[in-house]
C-alpha cells in the first residue's frame, strides 16, 4: 500500500520528535556521572553534581560489607571530607557518616553536610552495602571545598578491618583502616541534571594514583604485646627468682627489665592515643587507671632501695603486697584497653583466663616464699648470726667424705702400719720423756708413759676385772 505525501510528512515529523527526545530520555535514565570502580573489592563510588541552583551532590556508593568503607574529597586525610559507610544496628541497612580529619587520625563526624537516604539504600542478601543518597551543602567544608571545574579532583578511599561494626551512631568509633589508596575524579564529567548515578562496573572520568596500600597498626600491637609479656611472662619469672635464688642481683635485673617493658608500653600507648577520637582526650577508664597505676609501680621499685627501706622497719614488709596490688591494677588496665579497642570477645576471654592463672600462680608462690623465707633472706640471716653458709657446709661435708673414702681405699697392711707407727710415736715420745724404755707388755698403747692406759680405764668400769699380762 502506497503512503501519501501527507502521511509521509507526518511519519518524518514523528521520527524527528523521537530522535529529539531520545537523548534526553537516555540522560534521564543514565545521568552525568564520574565513577570510581575498584575491581579487587567490587567497590563503586559514582558522583553526580547537579547543575542547577541547589548545588546538590548525588551519590551511588556500593561495597562489600567490611566493618566500614569510606571515600573522601582530598589529597590526604587532613582537611578532607569523607563519606564513611557501615551497617546499622540491625544490620539490614547502612549508616552514612560525613567526617573530616585534622591529620592522619580517625576522622570526626561533621554535621554541616545534610545527607538524605533515597530508595534503594540497603544491605543486600549477599552482604553488599548499597547507598543511594542526596547530599546538600557538601561542596564546601572547613578546610576544603569541591571544585566542580576540576577534571582531576584528588580523591581517597579506605577500608576498615574485618571486625564487625553495627551502629546507628554517626559518631561510632572506627578501627584503623587496613587498606587505602588514591585516585582523581573528573568533576566536569560528573556535572549535569541532578540524579543518582546508575549501578555499573565501568570506571568513568577516574584515574588511579598508585595501587592499593596495605596498612598495619604496629604501634598498638606492640603496645599490647609488650604489656602482656611484662605481666604474663617476666612477672611470674621474677617471683621465682626473688624467692628461690640467693643472688638478689638476678631479681633486680629482671625487675629492671620489666620496668623497661612497661615504660615502652606506656610510651606506645600515649603516642597512639592521638590517632583515635575515643582516646584523644585521655579520659577513658583505660587511660585513667593506667596513670593511677604509675604510683604503685614507682613505690614497688623504690621500696627495696636501702635509703628508702631504712626509713621505717615496716616499709620492706609491704613490698610483696604492693607488687600484688600493682599486678592487679595492670591486669585491669589491660582489660579496659581491650574494651577500648573493641577487641573480639574471644581475645577478651583468653586474656581473662591467662590473667587468672598467672595471678593464682603468683599468690601461691608468694605464700610459699613467705612461709619458708626467701633464699636471699635466709642467707643474709646466717651471715648476720656468724653461721657458716649452707653452701659452705655442703662443701665441707663433701671434702670430709672424700677424705674418709680415700683412707678406706688404702690396703689393710698400710693402714695397720700407719696406725701402729702412730701409736708407737705417741708411747715412745712419752717413754723418752721418762728416760727409759717400757717393759714388754706395758709399752705401746697398753700403758706406759705419763697417761693412764686402758688397764686403768677398764678398772674404772665395774664388772670388767683386769689381770696383769692379760
pLDDT tens-digit profile of 139-197?
999 889 999 999 999 999 999 987 778 899 999 989 888 999 999 999 999 999 999 99
- Cell representation of residue 275: 590517632
Give the pLDDT of residue 320. Answer: 84
Q: If you search the block for the grid coordinates 604474663, which residue do you land on? A: 232
Report which of residues 452 and 285 the model is more confident about: 285
Residue 343 has pLDDT above 50, yes or no: yes
Can you give the pLDDT at residue 418? Answer: 55
Distance of alpha carbon 23 from alpha carbon 82, whole angstroms: 34
Query: What pLDDT score does 443 carry?
Result: 43
Residues 386, 374, 320: CA angle, nearest 5 degrees: 130
Query: pLDDT per residue over 415-449, tens digit each?
Result: 555 555 555 554 554 444 444 444 444 444 444 44
Looking at residue 25, what is its pLDDT? 43
Q: What is the mean pLDDT of residues 239-266?
A: 88
Is the pLDDT higher at 422 or at 78?
78
pLDDT tops 70 at residue 410? no
Cα distances (Å, whole numbers) of residue 428 to 400, 416, 433, 452: 30, 18, 8, 14
> Residue 58 — pLDDT band, cuts 50, 70, 90?
very high
Choose between 405 and 453: higher pLDDT.
Answer: 405
Average pLDDT over residues 7-32: 54
From the CB of residue 354, how many other CB atoms can be counted at a distance below 10 Å? 14
Q: Please check the confidence at residue 24 and state whether its pLDDT lies above 50.
A: no
- CA dist., res. 343 & res. 397, Å (int): 60
CA-to-CA separations, 301 to 40, 365, 375, in angstroms, rounded: 54, 20, 20
DSSP letters of 447-460?
Answer: S-SSS--HHHHHHT
C-alpha distances in Å from residue 253, one per residue of 231, 238, 261, 301, 377: 16, 9, 13, 12, 18
- Which domains does the chain show, CATH number per domain? 28-216 (2.60.40.1210), 219-384 (1.20.120)
At 186-207, the pLDDT tens digits run 999 999 999 999 999 999 999 9
Which grid cell sits at 214? 596495605
Compute the distance between CA of residue 224 and CA of residue 4 in angstroms, rounded to an integer: 89
Q: CB under 8 Å to 48, separation ≥6 — which residues?
A: 31, 32, 33, 57, 58, 59, 190, 191, 192, 194, 195, 196, 197
Angle between helices 285-292 and 319-340 (to 10 degrees): 160
Among 13-17, 32-36, 407-411, the range with the most confident prediction by mean pLDDT is: 32-36
Side-chain-side CA neighbours of 211 within 13 Å: the count stands at 4
CA–CA distance, 313 with 296 (Å, rounded to integer): 19
| Cα dihedral value 341, 346, 347, 351, nearest 10 | 120
DSSP 303: T
CB 140 within 8 A of CB 146: yes
| 72 strand-pairing partners | 82, 156
**Residue 112 DSSP SS3:** coil
Model pLDDT, residue 300: 85
Amino acid at each position: 500500500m502506497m503512503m501519501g505525501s501527507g502521511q509521509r510528512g507526518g511519519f518524518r515529523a514523528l521520527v524527528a520528535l523521537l530522535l529529539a527526545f531520545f537523548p534526553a530520555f537516555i540522560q534521564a535514565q543514565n545521568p552525568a556521572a564520574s565513577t570510581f570502580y575498584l575491581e579487587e573489592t567490587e567497590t563503586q563510588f559514582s558522583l553526580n553534581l547537579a547543575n542547577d541552583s541547589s548545588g546538590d551532590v548525588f551519590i551511588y556508593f556500593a561495597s562489600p560489607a567490611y566493618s566500614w568503607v569510606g571515600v573522601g574529597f582530598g589529597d590526604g586525610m587532613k582537611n578532607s571530607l569523607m563519606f564513611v559507610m557501615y551497617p546499622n544496628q540491625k544490620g539490614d541497612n547502612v549508616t552514612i557518616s560525613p567526617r573530616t580529619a585534622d591529620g592522619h587520625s580517625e576522622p570526626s563526624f561533621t554535621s554541616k553536610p545534610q545527607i538524605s537516604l533515597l530508595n534503594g539504600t540497603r544491605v543486600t542478601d549477599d552482604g553488599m552495602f548499597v547507598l543511594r543518597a542526596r547530599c546538600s551543602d557538601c561542596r564546601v567544608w572547613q578546610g576544603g571545598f569541591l571544585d566542580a571545574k576540576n577534571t582531576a579532583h584528588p580523591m581517597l578511599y579506605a577500608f576498615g578491618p574485618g571486625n564487625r561494626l553495627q551502629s546507628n551512631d554517626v559518631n561510632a568509633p572506627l578501627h584503623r583502616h587496613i587498606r587505602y589508596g588514591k585516585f582523581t575524579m573528573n568533576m566536569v564529567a560528573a556535572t549535569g541534571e541532578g540524579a543518582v548515578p546508575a549501578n555499573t562496573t565501568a570506571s568513568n572520568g577516574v584515574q588511579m594514583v598508585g595501587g592499593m596500600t596495605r596498612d598495619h597498626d604496629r604501634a598498638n600491637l606492640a603496645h599490647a604485646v609488650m604489656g602482656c609479656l611484662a605481666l604474663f611472662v617476666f612477672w611470674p619469672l621474677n617471683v621465682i627468682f626473688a624467692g628461690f635464688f640467693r643472688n638478689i642481683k638476678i631479681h633486680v635485673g629482671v625487675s629492671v627489665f620489666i620496668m623497661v617493658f612497661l615504660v615502652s608500653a606506656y610510651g606506645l600507648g600515649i603516642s597512639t592515643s592521638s590517632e583515635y577520637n575515643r582516646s584523644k582526650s585521655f579520659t577513658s577508664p583505660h587511660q585513667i587507671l593506667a596513670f593511677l597505676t604509675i604510683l604503685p609501680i614507682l613505690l614497688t621499685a623504690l621500696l627495696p632501695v636501702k635509703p628508702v627501706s631504712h626509713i621505717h622497719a615496716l616499709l620492706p614488709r609491704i613490698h610483696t603486697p604492693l607488687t600484688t596490688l600493682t599486678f592487679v591494677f595492670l591486669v585491669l588496665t589491660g582489660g579496659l584497653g581491650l574494651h577500648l579497642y573493641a577487641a573480639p570477645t574471644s581475645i577478651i576471654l583468653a586474656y581473662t583466663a591467662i590473667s587468672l592463672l598467672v595471678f593464682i600462680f603468683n599468690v601461691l608462690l608468694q605464700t610459699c616464699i613467705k612461709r619458708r623465707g626467701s633464699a636471699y633472706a635466709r642467707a643474709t640471716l646466717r651471715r648476720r648470726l656468724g653461721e657458716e653458709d649452707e653452701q659452705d657446709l655442703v662443701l665441707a661435708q663433701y671434702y670430709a667424705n672424700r677424705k674418709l673414702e680415700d683412707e678406706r681405699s688404702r690396703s689393710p697392711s698400710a693402714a695397720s702400719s700407719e696406725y701402729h707407727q702412730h701409736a708407737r710415736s705417741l708411747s715412745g715420745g712419752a717413754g723418752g720423756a721418762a728416760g727409759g724404755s717400757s717393759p714388754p707388755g706395758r709399752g705401746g698403747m697398753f700403758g706406759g708413759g705419763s697417761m693412764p692406759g686402758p688397764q686403768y680405764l677398764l678398772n674404772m668400769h665395774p664388772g670388767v676385772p683386769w689381770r696383769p699380762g692379760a
